[in-house]
Structure 1
Amino acid sequence: MWVPTNSLADILRILLMVPIYAAVSFASYLFWNHSTALLLIRDCYEAIVLTSFFYLILNYLSHDPEEQKDIFRKVGLSRENDREARRRGAPLAHWVFPLQSVGWKPEDGLYFLQLMKWGVLQYCVIRPLTTLAAVILNYIGLYCDDSWSPGWGHLYITIIMSISVTIAMYCLIQLYMPIAGHLAPHKPLLKLFAVKAVVFLTFWQETLISGLEDVGVIKNVRQTLCMLITDKHNSDRPRT
């Protein structure tokens, strides 16, 4: 199937995540004293993946920006479309969980599109900035990714990132819902779940594990892994 150049570029940027993650992860093993900075920079690529997927969805919808706007005028979550739905006796659209009870909606579909766009793309600004701040704090000894104490930068970076990534993923899902029918020929649902797993679930998994380590529920994963590698290395050494 023919793929337009702009969509192909977005797809390529998404696919590059695998080799980039692998290369940086391997580099962090070789240069373990810089592993925190390397892994932070690696995770920053998530912002590129999310941005690429956002524009891929819009390109799937239409390659003409004006046509994209026309579609959102008709189907975007808005008070204008609610009034039209009442005239036709159709059910009203709602925000996706957990905001389905929120009554406020944008005035029209274009405003809805802009809100969702801002919600997604703010992550693409916040993520690099917090990564840069974390790398600087790490090198001056004020980051400490193993601690959740308010005396270290890790806590504040994580809070900012948690809010940013949650807003971004929510807006991406909310953007998808009204146009799901238009995107059906491209079967983007599994792609959406994949991006959600890579960006959202992995972030919260890492945050949860780090928090459990800090309160002592589980052992420090890094220390345990280092001990296992050391034990394996020692057991493989020839005995004299």
Structure 2
Amino acid sequence: MTDAAANAAADPAVDPGGASPLRIERRPDRVIATLDRPAVRNAIDQRTIDALHLLCAELEAIPRILILTGAGGVFASGADIPELRERRADDARRGINANAFIRVAELPMPVIAALDGYALGGGAELAYAADIRIATPSLKIGNPETGLGILAAAGASWRLKEIVGDARAAELLLTGRTVEADEALAIGLVSSLHPQEALLDAAHAIADRIARNDPAATIATKRVFRAPREAHPAADLEAQAVLFESPEKFRRMTEFLERKQK
């Protein structure tokens, strides 16, 4: 990415073109991406997937926190059914949504999903790809794919059990039932509930807390957290070895000790 592009990416500006399925606001330490297809309750179509890939490329080049949310009181009602109905076996094998959501999950810095209203099917799977999920009391989240003659193949079949455990995930995926906000909080699918008007403020408060920390330590923590069990403790120790030599570690620890002495 050029210096000009990097500077533009850091500007707190909203992308031009109101017809875009993904409205993007850029700040120096974070990006806010809003799913915006109000006529279809923010259903995720190919254009949305293409926009997510472009955003991921930007955040891979210039790591920042990502806040994902939806416009109009809905996160995402699912995949775009008319488009999905026309997909065939070769499309399934391409993993159109799955690969985009994997890329979101693997971004260097944390991803916060701020969920309001429906987060169903592909919308739920995009939310599962986030590191942190918060919601409003109107949340309705789930994977009704089997009722449409398909399976939840864009992350739910492996991510959901990592979030809520095997037994709960199996029940939700096999029944296809929708989980409402209080249950989502109780089973750990979301970490907190907030009034609709306070949802984005709550997401920004989490982002503020993350942004105060050392970005390199945050990136290392996310990478190690997502490493498979067999990679531990080697992955932790190698990441710590790099951080132990960083100037930022010495600066932050020196400041901490100096504050204690006052």
Indicate the TM-score class for this superposition, using the shorter chain for normalisation: under 0.3
Structure with bigger RCO (C-alpha 8 Å, 6+ apart): 1
Query: Could you tell me the TM-score, scaled by structure 1's length?
Result: 0.24
- Higher gyration radius (CA): 1
The structure in which a higher percent of residues are strand is: 2
The structure in which a higher percent of residues are helix is: 1
Query: Could you tell me the TM-score, scaled by structure 2's length?
Result: 0.22
